Structure formats: structure tokens, C-alpha cells
């Protein structure tokens, strides 16, 4: 997981400089060849993408010439022909109007993202590595081997020194009580919702649909009921509480909200995504169960969705696609992220050594479904041609990896850990700028589970990179095992919301992640 760097060595004032010049001259033809191939590929994509338009140009030219050559008698004959076939024309027109009416009434309603907000914990809950390790040592629950393991994980994790852990974990000894867990949930959810309602200028009574997802903490009454009680939401609100669905539950909640907004007209839906750490900290010595302690941190988001046409003018994004993949039928996939007790009876979440391989398989299945929906026809042709050659000729041809950079302008990929980001960057052939939001979110806020995709989107906005018509791909993995994707399109040049999580620190990023 060490990142490579650039190294230089100078052999001397004379021979060293000559050697560099010879080396550069030797590489020049290869460089020119790569540039030529780059432009050939760009030309190919442009040609295929605009093929239909290019074919219509000669047709339009021919029609224009024919029309220009028509004389007055030809026009009179055409008019008489139309008069004699008036019934046919009226029938065709009626069928056309009926078809358009049916299409308008039955087409899916657009779902708009009006605004969202990501919670940022107070500074006194920050957990620098030194304090984190000191607290682990003082609890007396970890042996020396476990402490050293956690120290190594923190060093290689990609997390920075300013992530947050809940109040109960700052106490010595820790106090993971039900009351403390409720307090953490309330601070995160209410903190995000208060700012969301204020920024979006929406009254809580206007909310018709409420979805809350939290994987590991599911009290009675539910988290959604806590929100209904706090904001005195209306009695006929459709509320849902999703539990046990892992880090990809945020996309699942968006998908459910989309389906509900297709059924219920002129209403708002709020999706709250969070995770609760207080009662789910592992105090044992099983290595595979210690990793989540080192990665997961306090965080949460609240997203306001609407199906009202009038909200298009003020909305930030429009939902284009949601693609969900569930691999739970496979036993290995089902158990690769598994909550259980260790030999000492202490509860935690165990991560399998097969996790990365299973995630790769889930990703492959997900993008196989997503690709035809978003990729330009040029990329689909290349993929299909490669597959055809491999199947029919049994040739040893590498499978063609579509260039998703042609379909998306921004990527909010799973920030579960540094290794996950590295693998996605490699497998999807992304550039460092495409994974910058994910790496910086992991560094500043840690793994906030289902809400990290919104911290990443907030980072892109805070950097001023989100332009009108840009497309964003949010992708997350979750226990079960699941891989889910959401695609959004920016409706305008999006500026960051006030009081956002990056407001006072965005100028300090990106930072270099040390190994």
C-alpha cells in the first residue's frame, strides 16, 4: 500500500546531463506514438458518437435540393393530395397525440436533489493517532500484539489526524451505553437535518417521505421515529428504517426514495445516512475484527429529494440511474463482512481475507449492468468486439476495460480504506484527480460508512469543479455482499452549501498521503 514516488539521481555535472538528454531522445518516438494513439482514439469516439448526425447531413442536403427545385405546379399537386387524404392525416395526428399523452402520463417522474448536508463533529471529539493509541492502551482490553497491529493499520490507513470518534470513546474507561449511543445518533442526525432544513428553506411539515439507514445501531423506537418526534413531522409521513445493510446503504436508500417519489406526487423525501460507533467498538484481540475500529469514524448526511417540477430551478442535481448488485447468494460473499463474537464473547465486525476479491467481482457485475446505460456507443462497440473475438476465435485477448472517464466527469468512490481506493483507481483506470475526493475524505473524516459519498461530493463542490451537465458516479460496497451505484447530473454550476464540512479547510487540500 505504499505509494510510489519520483526519484532522481545525478551522476555528475557533465556525463549526467548528457545521459539525461540521450534518455529523453530515445523515449521521444514512443511519446509521439502514444500521443498519436490518443488522438486516434479521440477521433474514433467522436466519429462513432456523432455517426447518426453525420449520416443525416447528406440526407438533409438531398431533401433541400429537391424542395428548392419544386415549381408551383408541384406544390399545388402536393396540396391536392393532402386534401384527398384528410381522413388519414387526421387519424395519424390523433394517434400521435394519444401516444404522446400516454408517454407523458406514464414516464418516470424526474427526481431532483434539492440540497444535502454532511455533519461535522465538534473539535473536542477529534482523535489524533497518539491519543487514539493512548486510549486503547489505557482501556486494558488489548494485548501488546493488538496494539501494535492497530498502530500499523492507522499508519497505512490513509486517515489523517483530525477524524472524530464519539464522546463515549473519549472516556476512560469507555462508556458504550445505550444512552451514549442515542446521544451520538441524535447529534449526528439532528445536526445534519437542522442545517439542511435551514439551507433548503424547507419546513419539516413539508416532508412526505423519510428514510434513515444505519447498519449497526437499531434501537426501539427506531431512528426514523426519533426524527419524527424531534421535528414533529406529519402523521401520514411514510417513514422507513434500514438496518444491517453496510456502507452501500446510502445508495439503497436513494433507490427506495426514488421508487416512492414515483408513486407519490408533489412531495419531498429526506434520506439520512449514518453509522453509530458507540456500541459497536470492538474491545478484543482478534485481528480481523480490530480493523473497523481503526477506520470507522463519526459522520452522517441528510439529503433532500423532490419530484416537484418547480424545484428543478433550484435543485443541484437530477438522479439519472441507480444500479444495485447483490452477491449474497454466494456463501463467501455473504460472510466476508460479518458481525459476530470472538472466542472471548466480545462482539465485533470481522473482515474476511477474501474481501477485496469479492468486492472486485461485485464491481464487475455492477459495471456490466451500468455500462450500457452510461457509456458512449463507441466504448460499447469496443467492448463487444473484444468479447466477440475472445468467444468465437478463442483468442488470448485481454478483456477490454471500458473508459468510464468518457461517461463521468466526477467519481465519488467507496472510501472504506486506502487499499479499496487504490484498487478502484487501478481497475477503473482512473487518474489521481478522479480519486482525490475519496482520498481526501478518508484523510479528513475517515470511513463514515454510508455517508462518505456525500462528503466526497461536497469536496468536489468546495473545489469549484462541479459544472452544469457534469455527471457524477457514486459507488459503494456493503456487507451482504453488495455493490451499488448512483448516477447524478448537475443542473447548474454547483456551489458548496453554507456551513459545509469543508468550509474552513478546503484550501489545505489536497494533502500528500504518507505511507
- Looking at the predicted structure, is the pLDDT value of residue 356 above 50? yes
Question: What is the mean pLDDT of the segment spanning 421-442?
Answer: 94
- Looking at the predicted structure, is the pLDDT value of residue 23 above 60? no
Catalytic status, residue 414: yes
Catalytic status, residue 118: no
Name the catalytic one among 45, 170, 321, 326.
326
pLDDT tens-digit readout, 141-174: 899 999 999 999 999 999 999 999 999 999 988 9
Name the catalytic one among 241, 285, 307, 447.
447
Q: What integer pLDDT is reported at residue 28 of this predicted model? A: 40
Catalytic status, residue 410: yes
Query: What domains, with CATH codes, occur in the chain?
Result: 56-106 (no CATH), 112-508 (3.40.47.10)
Supply the pTM of this predicted model: 0.83
pLDDT tens-digit readout, 264-275: 989 999 999 999
pLDDT tens-digit readout, 86-123: 677 777 878 888 887 876 766 778 999 999 999 999 99
Name the catalytic one among 241, 294, 307, 410.
410
CA dist list (Å): 352 to 203, 337, 357: 45, 6, 10
Cβ contact 278:338 at 8 Å:
no
Query: How many other β-carbons are positioned within 10 Å of the β-carbon of residue 403?
Result: 17
Q: What integer pLDDT is reported at residue 3 of this predicted model? A: 40
The model's confidence at residue 398, banded by pLDDT at 50, 70 and 90, is confident
pLDDT tens-digit readout, 319-342: 999 999 999 999 999 999 999 999
The model's confidence at residue 42, banded by pLDDT at 50, 70 and 90, is low
Half-sphere exposure at residue 318, Cβ-oriented, CA atoms within 13 angstroms: 15
Residues in Cβ contact with 202 at an 8 Å cutoff, skipping those fewer than 6 apart:
114, 196, 268, 304
Question: What is the mean pLDDT of the segment spanning 287-304?
Answer: 96
Rounded Cα distance between 359 and 477, Å, is 7
Q: What integer pLDDT is reported at residue 2 of this predicted model? A: 40
Q: What integer pLDDT is reported at residue 12 of this predicted model? A: 37
Q: What integer pLDDT is reported at residue 32 of this predicted model? A: 36
Catalytic status, residue 247: yes
Core vs surface per residue 55-68: b (16+ CB within 10 A) or e:
eeeeeeeeeeeeee
Rounded Cα distance between 509 and 488, Å, is 24
Catalytic status, residue 326: yes
- Looking at the predicted structure, is the pLDDT value of residue 21 above 80? no
Q: Average pLDDT over the chain, rounded to whole?
A: 86
pLDDT tens-digit readout, 189-201: 999 999 999 999 9
- Looking at the predicted structure, is the pLDDT value of residue 15 above 70? no
Question: What is the mean pLDDT of the segment spanning 443-470?
Answer: 97
- Looking at the predicted structure, is the pLDDT value of residue 79 above 90? no
Name the catalytic one among 213, 294, 366, 443.
443
Catalytic status, residue 447: yes
Higher per-residue confidence, 31 vs 113 = 113
Q: What distance, in Å, lies between the first and last C-alpha atoms of the chain?
A: 7
Residue 467's region, left for phi above 0, alpha for psi from -120 to 50, else beta, is beta
- Looking at the predicted structure, is the pLDDT value of residue 447 above 50? yes
Name the catalytic one among 118, 136, 307, 414.
414
Q: Are strands 112-118 and 207-213 parallel, antiparallel or unpaired?
A: unpaired
Strands, E, within 331-481: which ranges?
337-341, 347-351, 410-413, 471-478
Rounded Cα distance between 471 and 463, Å, is 16
Amino acid at each position: 500500500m505504499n505509494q510510489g514516488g519520483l526519484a532522481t539521481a545525478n551522476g555528475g555535472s557533465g556525463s549526467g546531463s548528457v545521459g539525461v538528454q540521450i534518455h529523453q531522445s530515445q523515449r521521444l518516438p514512443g511519446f509521439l506514438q502514444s500521443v498519436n494513439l490518443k488522438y486516434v482514439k479521440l477521433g474514433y469516439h467522436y466519429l462513432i458518437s456523432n455517426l447518426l448526425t453525420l449520416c443525416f447531413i447528406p440526407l438533409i442536403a438531398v431533401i433541400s435540393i429537391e424542395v428548392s427545385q419544386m415549381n408551383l405546379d408541384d406544390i399545388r399537386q402536393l396540396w391536392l393530395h393532402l386534401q384527398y387524404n384528410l381522413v388519414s392525416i387526421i387519424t395519424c395526428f390523433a394517434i400521435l397525440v394519444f401516444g404522446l399523452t400516454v408517454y407523458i402520463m406514464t414516464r418516470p417522474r424526474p427526481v431532483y436533489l434539492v440540497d444535502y448536508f454532511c455533519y461535522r463533529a465538534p473539535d473536542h471529539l477529534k482523535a489524533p493517532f497518539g491519543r487514539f493509541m493512548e486510549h486503547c492502551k489505557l482501556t486494558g482490553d488489548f494485548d501488546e500484539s493488538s496494539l501494535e497491529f492497530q498502530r500499523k493499520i492507522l499508519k497505512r490507513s490513509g486517515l489523517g489526524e483530525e477524524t472524530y470518534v464519539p464522546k463515549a470513546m473519549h472516556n476512560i474507561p469507555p462508556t458504550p451505553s445505550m444512552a451514549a449511543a442515542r446521544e451520538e445518533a441524535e447529534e449526528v442526525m439532528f445536526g445534519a437535518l437542522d442545517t439542511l432544513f435551514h439551507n433548503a428553506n424547507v419546513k419539516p411539515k413539508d416532508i412526505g417521505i423519510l428514510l434513515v439507514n444505519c447498519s449497526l445501531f437499531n434501537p426501539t423506537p427506531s431512528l426514523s421515529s426519533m426524527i419524527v418526534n424531534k421535528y414533529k413531522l406529519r402523521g401520514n409521513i411514510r417513514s422507513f428504517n434500514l438496518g444491517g445493510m453496510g456502507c452501500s446503504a446510502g445508495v439503497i436508500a436513494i433507490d427506495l426514495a426514488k421508487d416512492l417519489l414515483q408513486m407519490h406526487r408533489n412531495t419531498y423525501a429526506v434520506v439520512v445516512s449514518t453509522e453509530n460507533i458507540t456500541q459497536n467498538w470492538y474491545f478484543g484481540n482478534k485481528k480481523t475484527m480490530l480493523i473497523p475500529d481503526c477506520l470507522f469514524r463519526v459522520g452522517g448526511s441528510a439529503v433532500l429529494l423532490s419530484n416537484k417540477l418547480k424545484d428543478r430551478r433550484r435543485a443541484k442535481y437530477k438522479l439519472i440511474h441507480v444500479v444495485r448488485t447483490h452477491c449474497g447468494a454466494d456463501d463467501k460473499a455473504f460472510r466476508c463482512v460479518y458481525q459476530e463474537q470472538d472466542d472471548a464473547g466480545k462482539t465485533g465486525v470481522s473482515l474476511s481475507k477474501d474481501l477485496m476479491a469479492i468486492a472486485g467481482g461485485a464491481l464487475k457485475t455492477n459495471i456490466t449492468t451500468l455500462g450500457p446505460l452510461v457509456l458512449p456507443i463507441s466504448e460499447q462497440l469496443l467492448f463487444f468486439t473484444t468479447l466477440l473475438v475472445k468467444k468465437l476465435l478463442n483468442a488470448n485477448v485481454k478483456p477490454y476495460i471500458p473508459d468510464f472517464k468518457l461517461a463521468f466527469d466526477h467519481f465519488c468512490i467507496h472510501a472504506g480504506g486506502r487499499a479499496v481506493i487504490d484498487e478502484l483507481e487501478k481497475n477503473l483506470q482512473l487518474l489521481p484527480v478522479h480519486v482525490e475526493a475519496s482520498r481526501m475524505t478518508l484523510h479528513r473524516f475517515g470511513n463514515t460508512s454510508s455517508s462518505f459519498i456525500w462528503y466526497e461530493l461536497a469536496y468536489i463542490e468546495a473545489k469549484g469543479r462541479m459544472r452544469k451537465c457534469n455527471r457524477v458516479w457514486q459507488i459503494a460496497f456493503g456487507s451482504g455482499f453488495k455493490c451499488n451505484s448512483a448516477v447524478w447530473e448537475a443542473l447548474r454550476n454547483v456551489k458548496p452549501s453554507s456551513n459545509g464540512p469543508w468550509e474552513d479547510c478546503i484550501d489545505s487540500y489536497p494533502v500528500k498521503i504518507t505511507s
